[in-house]
């Protein structure tokens, strides 16, 4: 039970720290986070969430999936807004 609480708190903190990034990119309509970073992180967190659920640790599963979803939003922003440093190309 203590391990579940530790994983849950860590995941919530991790997710909350992504909120300013998501908001900033929405406001600027640009993304500087590499697509590979955001897609890989979202995928690995989804796998972690599945593992937590399989083990019956439902609270860490939900919070880890939420954090993975935040990374998926960041990946979507990169796809939609593109790289502001790219010249003439709005997508990766």
User: pLDDT per residue over 32-83, tens digit each?
Assistant: 899 999 999 999 999 999 999 999 999 999 999 999 999 999 999 999 988 7
Answer whether residue 88 is part of any domain: no
Give the C-alpha separation, 68 to 45, whole Å.
Answer: 5
Answer whether residue 47 is part of any domain: yes
Give the C-alpha separation, 35 to 11, whole Å.
Answer: 21
Convert the pLDDT of each residue in 6-15 to its tens digit. Answer: 999 999 999 9
Residue 9 dihedral angles phi and psi, to the nearest 5°: -60, -45
Answer whether residue 44 is part of any domain: yes
Look up the domain containing 61 and give its range: 2-15+34-81
């Amino acid at each position: 039970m203590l391990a579940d609480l530790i994983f849950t708190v860590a995941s919530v903190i991790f997710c909350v720290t992504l909120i300013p990034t998501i908001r900033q990119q929405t406001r600027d309509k640009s993304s500087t986070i590499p697509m590979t970073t955001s897609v890989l992180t979202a995928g690995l967190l989804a796998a972690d969430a599945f593992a937590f659920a399989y083990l019956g640790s439902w609270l860490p599963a939900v919070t880890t999936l939420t954090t993975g979803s935040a990374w998926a939003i960041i990946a979507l922003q990169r796809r939609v807004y593109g790289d502001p440093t790219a010249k003439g190309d709005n997508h990766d």
